[in-house]
């Protein structure tokens, strides 16, 4: 599907702030190891594929997967750096992120990095991740 017109014009500062806010909320939830808050960053009908290829369909399944995974990651913290924003439509933005390991205080540490792609959509309840996928990134 092609997008008519200039898609850059839909990336207003308000939209960019909202989309970056979703990514920040996801980072905050992960670092707090809060599965419920993490799930709330996703739309009700979202899909998520983790770096190991496991697919979760729907917010409830994504939250449940986080409940299982986060206790195993209790000593792991991340920083998400938005590296690209692509307006697909005025209410849908693709977001490239670099996911880097950090200490609890936010200091960089050695470890695997991720390269998630999130598709953030304006839903009835506000901006949420509608689709996402993560993969390991070579440093």
Q: What is the pLDDT of residues 43-86, one digit of tens each?
A: 999 999 999 999 999 999 999 999 999 999 999 999 999 999 99
Length of the chain: 139
**Tally of structural domains, the chain:** 1
Total-model pTM: 0.92
86 found inside a domain: yes
Cα–Cα distance between 84 and 86 in angstroms, integer? 7
Has residue 2 been placed in a domain? no
Domain span at residue 125?
A: 7-137
Residue 28 belongs to a domain with what CATH number?
3.10.450.50
**Any domain includes 1:** no
What is the C-alpha to C-alpha distance for residues 69 and 94, in angstroms, rounded to an integer? 25
Helices (H), 1-139: 13-31, 35-40, 59-69
């Amino acid at each position: 599907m092609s997008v008519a017109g200039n898609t850059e014009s839909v990336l207003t500062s308000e939209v960019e702030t909202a989309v970056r806010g979703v990514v920040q909320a996801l980072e905050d939830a992960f670092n707090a190891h809060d599965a419920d808050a993490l799930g709330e960053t996703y739309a009700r009908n979202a899909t998520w594929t983790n770096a190991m290829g496991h697919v979760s369909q729907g917010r409830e399944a994504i939250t449940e997967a986080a409940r299982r995974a986060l206790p195993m990651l209790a000593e792991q913290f991340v920083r998400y750096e938005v590296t690209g924003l692509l307006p697909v439509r005025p209410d849908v933005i693709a977001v490239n992120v670099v996911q880097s390991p950090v200490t609890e205080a936010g200091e960089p540490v050695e470890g695997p990095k991720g390269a998630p792609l999130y598709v953030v959509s304006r839903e009835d309840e506000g901006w949420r991740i509608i689709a996402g996928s993560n993969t390991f990134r070579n440093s």
